[in-house]
Amino acid sequence: MRVPESIKTVFDTFPLKTFPAVPVGSPDQTQAVEDQKFYFRGEPSKDGNSFILGVHSILPIEVDGITKYIPSDPISLAKCLSTCHKNNLKLPISGDEKSGESSNCMMAFAHQASPDQELPLLIHDSNGRDRTFITSRSMSSISIKKVTSVTAQVVLEMIETKLYDLWISCLLVEADETSLNKIFRLNSQSSWTSQLYTVALFQEIPSWRNFNIRHSNLFTTSRVKKLAQGSSMASTFGSTLSALRTNVSLDHFYKDQLIEFEAILQSLTDFIENNEDEDPVVEIEVAAFLISVDQTLKDTKLGKLIQTSLLDRCYLLLSKY
């Protein structure tokens, strides 16, 4: 009996293998998980509480001759630096200076691990008794509410919409394979699996930060609208990505956002310079956005708009952590 070609292709791609069982909680399993963690530096918790910050991917970056590890996307990097500031922690590092590690860490997750399909995800562990999950949107909401200045709250709201909308637009319209690999670890999987994961990812991205709700007019054609609503199109990943990359409305929106970005960036810079004694949360958000773009989307139209002088200030802030 002849094996159908489609089935043969699947088994050639994923050949059957037998692996020995790995008991839950075994040393090998525990070590495998531990190897994926990047520990923040700081004082150990006195009450036994700790947290894990789940992010898309983790990038090495050299700052003042030291290799530090940061989240790959601007939203996760902002929450990472804010968490460091709040808890008096420093970023994970590598090499011989890797001492003084706290019990808090950062770890790469798949976005499906989060209840709202968005990262970062903050997991609080209360001395091993119970865990609390704080989603990305909840973290943003808490950060805005804790700021006492009404003006700063308005600025943070603008960052949440304008800057993150621009980042999402850049991913959907312009980001190439190299950039996507950096941000989402696509090259850590097989080629076939990577393609399927890319489709699932592109189905979710339009819904991040309620982008597709606030800009529903950008998703009017049937194929693109289904994508924005998260319908399953994984079997036709070619047409799915093509539908996004040929969305004229989204392309025009991205170009308009780029023009607006220069004015917004100047306003944010002015606010930071005039409020240097205030809570640094706004400066952290802006620095995280610009550093992330510089590290992962440098060759895009968005990346080319960022001035070197402003980046120098952002990296100077990063060096404090």
Number of domain units in the chain: 2
Say whether both 229 and 136 belong to one domain: no
- The residue with greater pLDDT, 25 or 87, is 87
Q: What was the pLDDT predicted at 283? A: 93
Segments forming the whole domain that contains residue 184? 147-319
Classify residue 290: in a domain, yes or no. Answer: yes
Structural domain includes residue 18: no
Last residue of a domain, one of 85, 116, 142: 142
Question: Is residue 262 domain-shared with residue 153, that is, in the same domain?
Answer: yes
Residues 173 and 270 in one domain: yes
Q: Are 90 and 40 spatial neighbours (Cβ–Cβ below 8 Å)?
A: yes
In a domain, 8, yes or no: no
In DSSP terms, 38 is beta-bridged to 106
101 plus 205 within the same structural domain: no
Neighbours of 243 (CB within 10 A): 21
Do 161 and 244 reside in the same domain of the chain? yes
Q: How many other C-beta atoms lie within 10 A of the C-beta of residue 301?
A: 14
Q: Is 111 helix (H, G, I), strand (E, B) or coil?
A: helix
Percent of the chain surpassing pLDDT 90: 40
Tokens representing residue 230 in the block:
């998260």
Task: Give the Cα separation of 104 and 115 in Å (integer).
Answer: 21
For residues 89 and 77, give the distance between their C-alpha atoms in angstroms, rounded to a whole number. 14
Within 13 Å of residue 204, how many CA atoms lie on the same side as its CB? 17
45 lies in the same domain as 101: yes
Q: Which residue has the tokens 């002088």?
A: 309
DSSP-assigned states of every residue in 291-306: HHHHHHSTTSTTGGGS
Q: What is the CATH number of the domain that holds 57?
A: 3.40.30
Does any domain span residue 68?
Answer: yes
Strand pairing report for 101-108 and 50-55: parallel
Q: Let me know if residue 72 belongs to a domain.
A: yes
> Is the same domain home to 314 and 188?
yes
pLDDT over threshold 70, residue 4: no
Look at residues 6, 23, 3, 156 and name the one whose alpha carbon lies nearest to residue 82.
Answer: 156
Q: Fill in the DSSP letter of residue 140.
A: H
Q: Report pLDDT digits (tens) over 78-130.
A: 999 999 999 999 999 986 555 667 889 999 998 888 988 899 999 998 876 78
Q: Which residues, in sequence order, are bridge partners of residue 68?
A: 61, 93
305: tokens are 């708009």
Tell me, yes or no, whether 132 and 184 share the same domain: no
Tell me the C-alpha distance between 286 and 99, whole Å.
29
Same domain for 295 and 175, yes or no, is yes
| Residue labelled with tokens 């943070």 | 156
**For the segment 201-242, what is each residue's pLDDT rounded down to a tens digit?**
888 899 999 999 999 888 776 555 555 555 444 444 445 455
Starting from the edge strand earliest in sequence, which strands make up the sheet with 130-134, in order? 37-41, 101-108, 50-55, 121-126, 130-134
Instruction: Give dist(CA 310, CA 204) in Å, integer.
Output: 32
169 and 76 part of one domain: no
Give yes or no: residues 47 and 193 share one domain.
no
Q: How many other C-beta atoms can be found within 10 angstroms of the C-beta atom of residue 170?
A: 21
With a cut of 80, say whether residue 131 has pLDDT above it.
Answer: yes
30 lies in a domain? no
d(CA 160, CA 211): 11
10 belongs to a structural domain = no
| Tens digit of each residue's pLDDT (9 = 90 or more) over 157-189 | 999 999 999 999 999 998 888 898 899 987 655
Residue that finishes a domain, picked among 126, 142, 158: 142
Give φ, ψ of 101 to 5 degrees: -75, 140
* Same-domain status, 165 and 132: no
Last residue of a domain, one of 142, 170, 204: 142
Instruction: State residue 235's pLDDT score.
Output: 46
207 occurs within a structural domain: yes
Is the pLDDT at 284 greater than 90? The verdict is yes
